[in-house]
């Protein structure tokens, strides 16, 4: 299976989680595209069978600047070829921000729903106020995600 990973990161934590996810998914025998600067054209050329989005949250629950161009391109086009594909989202945030906790992840979940990407398991919310190792904290969720891709 070809899995595309997209990420939005400010200080690098989400990108590290995405890079770790890339390795775990590859180790499970899947082909993975992960490029933090991927464009819609890059994703379409890869022709993914599944999606994983990993993003932190900035400001008032917004996406990081580095993923905004891709987010806008996908929203403008809503690629029909992706309808029905499996996907999942890992959101990073800080629960002390209350209502905006993992808001970036919620925006990507909504985008996946608009496109028709089928969420195979509920979004993982990683709380920066509780963890200093988000990569390893994501491993049980990623193991279940990988298992559901194979099902």
Q: What is the mean pLDDT of residues 95-107?
A: 92
Q: Write down the mean pLDDT value for the chain.
A: 95
> Domain map of the chain by residue range?
2-150
28 in Cβ contact with 146 (< 8 Å):
yes
pLDDT tens track for 5-19? 999 998 899 999 999
Find the angle CA(2)-CA(37)-CA(25) to the nearest 5 degrees. 30
Residue 99 is given by DSSP the state G
For the residues 48-63, what does the mean pLDDT come to?
95
pTM of the model: 0.96
Can you name the CATH fold of 2-150? Rossmann fold (3.40.50)
């Amino acid at each position: 299976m070809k899995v595309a990973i997209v990420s939005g990161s400010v200080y690098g934590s989400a990108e590290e989680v995405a890079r770790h996810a890339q390795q775990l998914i590859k180790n499970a025998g899947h082909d993975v595209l992960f490029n933090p600067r991927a464009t819609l054209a890059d994703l379409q050329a890869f022709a993914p069978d599944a999606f994983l989005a990993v993003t932190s949250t900035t400001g008032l629950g917004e996406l990081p600047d580095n993923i905004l161009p891709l987010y806008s391109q996908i929203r403008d086009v809503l690629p029909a070829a992706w309808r029905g594909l499996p996907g999942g989202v890992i959101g990073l945030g800080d629960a002390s921000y209350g209502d905006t906790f993992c808001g970036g992840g919620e925006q990507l979940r909504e985008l996946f729903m608009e496109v028709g990407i089928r969420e195979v398991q509920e979004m993982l919310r990683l709380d920066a106020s509780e963890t200093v190792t988000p990569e390893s904290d994501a491993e049980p969720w990623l193991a279940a995600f990988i298992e559901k891709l194979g099902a």
